[in-house]
Structure 1
């Protein structure tokens, strides 16, 4: 083990951990805004209760996401300084805009939304949550644009005198075809996570408080969340199909690694399950769907999908001697876990909707257990999706331009990286316990009482202290 190995593990652990909060924040920001819009248009109290209830869960998750996301910035200078030196002019541009524009927008208007209850006019307060939600989604786009450059570098040139990549077309970076499809795919996955959380919490309260005055609100929440899950699942499949074709075009090795396809095939089958050697080079038993891999990769059921061996030979001739094959067991299984866990969440949502048809009340304890597990399924699916995306690009840190081993800081020792890795892991473990306890505590508390508090006419409104309106 050397500094490179530990630096990669540290970045992987901190990135996956941070991304546990990202999809929930992105999805809940829009869904809470929709709930408040329903209250604004209808005046029904149940929508106000659900807005404040899920809004609190959104704020807890948002705060934790901000804390864990800051660490990501530090690592580029600490452990990956050679990468930052090579591509900083390009990679830093969308990240700078994300911080100066998108994050400023979302953080400012979240503050107005938190403290603006009963202080701002209803329309302005509603606009605040929508502005925060738009800022959150813009933030996601700029970050994905930066990552998409690593997958498919565009809009740049390498200066031979400095050995650095220089930005030549910022618009090309923002309209990178990988970014244009990764953004809706990521958003769809985020709504899948947020919808699942709404279903889980609502279903738990439906079972626990069958005769409560708030049962109607919880029943609506489970239906609303279930429809969000089903619609977002369809969007995930649609955008994922387009993404697969673009991935085959710009990173054919990643598609081959997703299937552990060693020889070029036309047509190519997709294996649901394979039993054999760990790297997939020797097959003992497999369940395959004919023509599917060709369709996923090319759009043609009889299309040609290039195999790992042929691509390895091509890359070795193009880029020099070395292995250009990612870790096959990781790419093969992460790709399938991503798909399978997402479909499982959609199946549970469909059963939840069916259990409430024609005003029925869900009574199956197995459904409740499935509902409580439900948020973990798309959350893990999102994580496996990013593991596949990043590990499938290896050994490149910038595809075709810089190998991962060449991006690590040269002066950072193994002991230093191990120290920071251990410290971050312990801190993140502590934050995970805090996050879980806070979410469970406030989820169990249920929707708040929204009866207006009596106001003392003798107290000037300007003298009232700012407070969370929950």
Structure 2
């Protein structure tokens, strides 16, 4: 256990846990906005109940996301101070805009949405939640603008050993940011749909569900969002991976497990395991032509392997370091991400077919509902695998081609302090996760009629002291 490895583990832990809730809140906010829009346009009270019920789930994810985001910011200064100094002049502007404009707007409109039920016209109230969605996506854009600089640095000069911004516009027009943004937002939309559909399936599995139509309609909305989002994810992911062939060829080669240059046409490796010390593949099952089709949209074309790319990087940046990333992690992360992406697409497409009015087969089979319910966890795993590829794939850099991981770690941290902080963060995140799960389950058990039942209960318990019956014994 070295300082670098412990600091990297802490960064991974805080980032992964925080990113559980970023797409969760963006996606469920969009689903809630759609439900409230349906209420405004149809005047159907069931859609209003949906908005409030799923809105409570969204609020829980938003709250936990804020807490985990604060922790992530804290560990930047604690463990990565040299990195913060290097990119501070670049990151200052986008992160300030994110905090002072996007997040402020998101929080403000969210507060208005929470506290103005029945106090504003329905259209105005629905506008608030749409503004929350827009602000949350804008917030994600500014964060990804900073992350994209780490992947593809633009608009900077190096002065006194630090990167200084000289073109803010270049930061915004960086092709990397738009590819990341489209991919992340599409994944968030998909996640919102999967969560609504999956949790609805769990509710329909309960024997004492009195309002099955509520969850059936919720599931249909969730499945439609899932289908549209998953198609967008696959399109955005395809464009982004093709972009990597030119901009980060080592990352692309690692996700495919290719140490040697491929032939023409290039075969795609379905499953494999690599000996990362000796830089060779132990075994693999290949599908002919497939990699050429995926990379170039045609059954011809070859690609560079990691050995060739490593020599090119040594010539450009020096031979004092290895440029091979953790190949097995990247290889399998890509397949987990892509596999669950296809699964969510099938969930949306088949789910809509199996829940149509003429033949709602899915509702009649508990095993189908169980599969639908268990799919709730798939976007969490897919998003995590995707971020593993994004962050681990540019090893050994924190800022690609400019600053390494070893250069980035704080000089004053120790193994002991990192062990303590890692333990504290792990326990804190575990507590937050258990609390989140407990509160979501509690909301599900309450059901969409909980508010009405409470009002009826309060009304039955209240006694008018001036009523004649109050004086009767």
TM-score if structure 2 supplies the norm length? 0.91
Mean Cα displacement is larger for which, 10-19 or 230-239? 230-239
User: Alpha-carbon deviations, 1:17-62, whole Å to 9, x = none?
Assistant: 1111111111111111111011011100111011001000000010
- The 5-angstrom pairing of residues 1-400 of structure 1 reads 1-159=1-159, 162-208=160-206, 212=210, 214-265=211-262, 266-275=264-273, 277=275, 281-283=279-281, 285-321=283-319, 322-357=321-356, 358-360=358-360, 362-400=363-401
User: Alpha-carbon deviations, 1:87-142, whole Å to 9, x = none?
Assistant: 11112221111001110010111111111111222222111111111111111111
In 1, the alpha carbon distance for the partners of 2:130 and 2:249 equals 39
Q: Secondary structure at the match of 1:306?
A: coil
Q: Secondary structure at the match of 2:430?
A: helix
Report the equivalent of 2:463. Answer: none
Q: 1:315 to 1:25 in 2, by over 3 A?
A: same
Mean Cα displacement is larger for which, 289-298 or 260-269? 289-298
Q: Secondary structure at the match of 1:20?
A: helix
In 1, the alpha carbon distance for the partners of 2:138 and 2:316 equals 37
Contact 2:251 2:393 in 1 (8 A): yes
Contact 1:267 1:304 in 2 (8 A): yes
Aligned length: 453
In 1, the alpha carbon distance for the partners of 2:76 and 2:265 equals 42
Unpaired segments of 5 or more residues in structure 2? 460-473
Report the equivalent of 1:404. Answer: 405
Contact 1:76 1:84 in 2 (8 A): yes
Contact 1:255 1:297 in 2 (8 A): no
Contact 1:46 1:216 in 2 (8 A): no
The structural deviation recorded for 1:282 is 4.3
Contact 1:155 1:172 in 2 (8 A): yes
Q: 1:424 to 1:53 in 2, by over 3 A?
A: same
Contact 1:280 1:328 in 2 (8 A): no
Pair member with larger Rg: 2
The structural deviation recorded for 1:205 is 2.9
The structural deviation recorded for 1:66 is 0.3
Contact 1:60 1:439 in 2 (8 A): yes
* Aligned-pair Cα RMSD in Å: 2.1
The structural deviation recorded for 1:267 is 2.9
Contact 1:272 1:289 in 2 (8 A): yes
User: Alpha-carbon deviations, 1:339-379, whole Å to 9, x = none?
Assistant: 11222233233343233231525222221221221111121
Unpaired segments of 5 or more residues in structure 1? 457-470
Contact 2:257 2:281 in 1 (8 A): no
In 2, the alpha carbon distance for the partners of 1:155 and 1:47 equals 47
Mean Cα displacement is larger for which, 74-83 or 61-70? 74-83
Contact 2:259 2:280 in 1 (8 A): no
In 2, the alpha carbon distance for the partners of 1:125 and 1:134 equals 15
Q: Secondary structure at the match of 2:448?
A: coil
In 2, the alpha carbon distance for the partners of 1:229 and 1:197 equals 9
